[in-house]
Structure 1
Amino acid sequence: MSDSAKGILVAVALLLLGAFGYWWWHENMEQRWVSEAHTSSAASADPMLAATRLLRQNGRSVDGAGSLGELIVPQTGAGTMIVSGASGTATPDQAREVLDWVRRGNTLIAEPRWISPAEKALVAGADDEEEAEEETEDDAEEEAEAQAAGDDASTSGEAAPPPGDASGGNAASAAPAAPAAPEAPEADDDSDKDPLTEHLRVRTGVDALACKCRTEAKEKDKDKPEAIAAARLAREQALSRLTLPGKDYALQIDADGNELVGLPDSPAPLWSDSDGGAVRVYAEGKGRIVLIANGYFTNSDLPQRDHAELLLALTELTPGKHVTIVKRLNVLPWYKALWRHYKLALTGLAVCLALLLWSALRRFGPILPAPKAERRSLLEHIDASGAWLWKADGGRQLLIEAAREDTLALIKRRAPALFRMPEGELWATLARTCALPEADVSEALEQDAASHVTRFTRQIRTLQTLRNHYER
């Protein structure tokens, strides 16, 4: 190799080495400003922070609530209420209060719950039924045209059979019948999950057509014409246009992802976007209920398209300038609900204390101990012995003599002077002292045991009265 050729190769190598060194230095040693996405702690804690600041800059007063249960809805200022998420659920009482608040001339902006599989099948069944009705109408029109053509042929002397019928029969008998629409299953009873918008019969679903277009655009070669067309269609599907009442221009709304799906018995909205899949506005008394398919007013979605202008326009549907932003639908924790309804809690506590006091006042003195089992057994033994003596020969006399001897011994011990009297005078003194009839005292102390139950019981009761009097 000549010297000139070697010199050229060395120069080229040095040039390449210098270019690589310059690139490496510029990439690794030079300082440059690079934009990085950053989310502040305030924005992370409040997904509606951007919407709150935008509304305040445009003359609205904004209040926030962690959940719908924290609000005292009847005392909420007139204006707009935004339920920023569909997490949780509202109780029927809360939904009733919110709807009454809307009917007084306010606006509610909310996202309906997701469509269930049964409701999706119900919507699909209704679509199939409409398609079947359209096919039936088309077949009827074709049959009428064929019949008219047959009548013309018969008047001209030509017996031409109707098209499609080789035997010359009726065309209706040869035409295939329209397939019957499959019976759709009934929707699940999930009204308790979304009592705020259940009466509107609108759900949130996935925009299947837009997803399909995006998938086709990703799978195919980007340079092919069909891929370019699929990408353009995907962009069109991801964009919805909404013309507000009284405006001569349309707002662009990001419709990529979810769409609003109306059930077969859903009422017609007052106005909506171009296809009714992003925004629908319904009348509710003097107020409005706005259903949106996505969270257009969060920190990440508010700067997109014309979402900020849409938010300001929706807050102008009612005269009130107050905006209440509810983060979720979860009900209050027990301690917050207790603090809010303290009157009911205090009333219940007072009633419980009154019941406890009443139960304590019914008892006076110390509580008697439970009788021992041995004593209860002894009483049963005495009762059984008395029943046996009553039936045995001489048993009644034995019982009356035992009670009589015990009573006389007690009286003799307590009042021995009485026994110095004659027997008849003694019975009269005892009867007068104890306020008993003298005949009863004489019968109990000197006569035999009575054979009748009532008389025998009177004898024993008289002896017990004498005993109780002298035991005091």
Structure 2
Amino acid sequence: MKRRYSLLIVLALALLAGGGYELWNLFFHKVWRGQVHFSDEQVKNPMLAATRLLEASGHKVRLEPMLNYQLLNQLPDGVLLLSPYARQPDERQARLLLDWVKRGNTLIMTPGWVQNSDDKADKPEVISEQLPDPMGKHFGVAMSGRTRVDEACRLDPLEAKRRAKLAAARKAKKDEDEEEDDDEPEPPAHLVCLNAPGAANTIELRRQEDSLQRFEGKGPAPLWGDTLELSVLVYAEGKGKVAMVASDRVESYFDNQGLRQFDHGELLLLLAAQSGPTAPVLVVQHNETVSWAAWLWQHCRPVLLGLAALLLLWTWNATRRFGPLLPAGDSVRRALIEHIEASGRWLWKLPQGRILLLEAVRKRTLQQLLRRLPELHALDGNERARRLARLTQLPEALVSDALLGAPAARAADFTRQISILQQLRAHHER
């Protein structure tokens, strides 16, 4: 019994010692472990490695986050590298870019992507109408999912290694499931070979998942490109050049990860040297479409400034004329005399208004005088005026003017005529 207990105790101690050793190595023992790290500068600039390579080769590199309208109108001479992940230029931007290239500059970009190019290979005009960007339509080139490979170039060792791993995984799964694998074998993963003018040797590029496709008769012929026109096509535009470079949806030749593969760095230096050995390079990460407001400001600035000045003058004049806002008036009914005064002012301004006013007062006055003095019926106008002037002791000239004269043009004389008629009425109402 004692021996059995001793063995159990020894076994338990051994287990505790082994467990403690493993826990020590797991939690307390310091070891060096590799960890992928991306610097903040690398995260902000996916072409940081390309920037450093160009600067080391004598190019002055400038980084811009956005291709906006203001930048397009102030592009410096040299090389413009558009990120393949930026939005494609619109019609106005494309015209400005082409004018800039014609002056002897170089543009490096990726054209837009078109679908079902293999199915419509016999109808290039149908595909060309679907080109998503005006630059690709101008040169007759687009990105497509073609399966064509450059068999003249050597096998891609990285892709071959990846496919070998996938084949081994499929074989292991096949052995486990004991089923036949009906998948078609993939075509050989060849690189893309480029024999460019000025290059010391053949440039080998990784075969992208999507490749360039040129539509015959829909654009100018390229100056040079890779063997089967899969990844690089360089066109002449005026005194400058436009380089169309293929790119995957997640990685391009000039990214931080892709630049170190094969001869991608040599391709970047070759394209950057098209405008000179040390030509300045402008790298644009994104693209911003031109808004209608920016287009108006660029092309109609004098008109807009003139309209703004007129609007300010009208506002100042209206403010000076009308003054500050007054409180709303009470909604009480106006007196009758206000309506009469308003009607009189309106009639006074009319061409025949004074005649209507004076004739109305004369008619009313004569009616009352004829009732009070019947003998006036037998007298003519002048005799009536003399008799009434004598009875009221008013000047005969004023009475005659009030009864017989034309309406006065001056307000004071017209008011005197009305006053004389009112005095005649008031004298005979007693």
Structure 2: which 5+ runs fail to align?
1-14, 150-158, 176-180, 344-358, 370-386, 408-412, 423-430
Q: What displacement does 1:202 show?
A: 1.5
Residue 126 of structure 1 and its aligned partner are, at CA, apart by 4.2
Q: CA deviation at 1:429?
A: 1.7
Corresponding letter in the other structure for 2:272: T
Match of 2:260 among 303, 310, 322: 303
* 3-state SS in 1 of match to 2:89: coil
Question: Does the 8 Å contact 1:80/1:324 carry over to 2?
Answer: yes
* Structure 1 unaligned regions, length at least 5: 1-16, 131-183, 384-397, 409-417, 442-461
Q: Distance in 1 between matches of 2:275 and 2:291?
A: 32
For 2:189, the equivalent position in structure 1 comes to: 235
Give SS of 2:35's match: coil
What is the deviation of 1:221? 3.6
Matches within 5 A, 1:337-348: none
Q: Is the 8 A contact 1:114 1:205 kept in 2?
A: yes
What is the aligned length? 341
| SS of aligned partner of 1:252 | strand
Identity %: 26
Q: 1:404 aligns with which of 346, 361, 365?
A: 365
Answer whether contact 1:89 1:330 (CA < 8 A) is retained. no
| Counterpart for residue 357 of structure 1 | 316
**Structure 1 residue 337: Cα displacement:** 9.9
- Inter-CA distance 41–420: structure 2 relative to 1 (3 Å threshold): same
2:87 aligns to what SS in structure 1?
coil
1:282-331: CA deviation from partner (whole Å, max 9, x where unpaired): 00101000011112111121111111111011111112610000111114
Shift of 1:188: 5.2
Where does 1:343-422 land on structure 2 (aligned, <5 Å)?
A: 349-360=308-319, 403-404=364-365, 421-422=390-391
Report the counterpart of residue 272 of structure 1 in structure 2: 225
Q: What displacement does 1:402 show? A: 7.2
SS at match of 1:247: coil
C-alpha displacement at 1:272, in angstroms? 0.8
Residues 1:125 and 1:198: Cα distance change in structure 2 (over 3 Å) = closer
Q: Equivalent residue for 2:79?
A: 80
Q: In the TM superposition, what is the alpha-carbon distance from 1:373 to its structure 2 partner?
A: 9.8
Cα distance change of structure 1 residues 300 and 336 upon mapping to structure 2, 3 Å threshold: farther
SS at match of 1:283: strand
- The aligned residue for residue 346 of structure 2 is none
Kindly indicate which of the two structures has a greater share of residues assigned to helix: 1
- Bigger shift: residues 83-92 or 40-49: 83-92
Letter in 1 for 2:258: D
1:27 Cα deviation after fit: 8.6
Q: Are the aligned partners of 2:104 and 2:241 in contact in 1 as well (CA < 8 Å)?
A: yes
* Residue 285 of structure 1, aligned match among 238, 241, 248: 238
Contact 1:88 1:329 in 2 (8 A): yes
SS of residue in 2 equivalent to 1:72: helix
Equivalent of 1:199 in 125, 138, 142? 138
Q: Report what 1:67 is aligned to.
A: 66
- Tell me the SS of whatever aligns to 2:275: coil
SS at match of 2:244: strand
Q: Counterparts of 1:296 and 1:407 in 2: how far apart (Å)?
A: 112
Q: How does 1:31-46 map to 2 (within 5 A)?
A: 33-46=32-45
SS of match in other structure, 1:316: helix
CA–CA distance in structure 1, aligned partners of residues 45 and 322 of structure 2 = 60
Please name the residue that 1:245 is paired with.
Answer: 197
The TM-score with structure 2 as length reference comes to 0.61
Partner Cα distance (1:266, 1:88) in 2: 22
Task: Work out whether residues 144 and 211 of structure 2, in 8 Å CA contact, stay in contact via their aligned partners in 1.
Answer: yes
Question: 1:56 maps to what in 2?
Answer: 55
Match of 2:210 among 258, 276, 281: 258
In the other structure, the counterpart of 1:125 is 120
Distance 1:215 1:376 in 2: 105
Q: Which amino acid aligns with 1:125?
A: K
**Mapped contact 2:362–2:421 kept (Cα < 8 A):** no
Distance 1:466 1:366 in 2: 41
Does the 8 Å contact 1:407/1:467 carry over to 2? no
Q: Shift of residue 196 of structure 1? A: 3.7
User: What CA distance in whole angstroms lies between the structure 2 residues aligned with 1:277 and 1:338?
Assistant: 40
> Is 2:208–2:246's contact at 8 Å kept on the other side of the alignment?
no
The amino acid that maps onto 1:235 is A
CA contact 2:81–2:282 (8 Å) conserved in 1: yes
Distance in 2 (alpha carbons) for counterparts of 1:68 and 1:27: 54
Q: Secondary structure at the match of 1:328?
A: strand
TM-score (norm 1): 0.56
Asked whether the equivalents of residues 80 and 315 of structure 1 are also in contact (C-alpha less than 8 Å), the reply is yes
- Deviation string 1:193-215 (CA, Å, 9 cap, x unpaired) is 5234431121112244579x969
Query: Which whole-Å CA distance do the structure 2 matches of 1:331 and 1:207 have between them?
Result: 29
Alpha-carbon distance change, 406 to 209 in structure 1, aligned in 2, over 3 angstroms: farther
Distance in structure 1 (CA, Å) of the matches to 2:126 and 2:228: 26
SS at match of 1:315: helix
Distance in 2 (CA, whole Å) between partners of 1:26 and 1:290 is 59
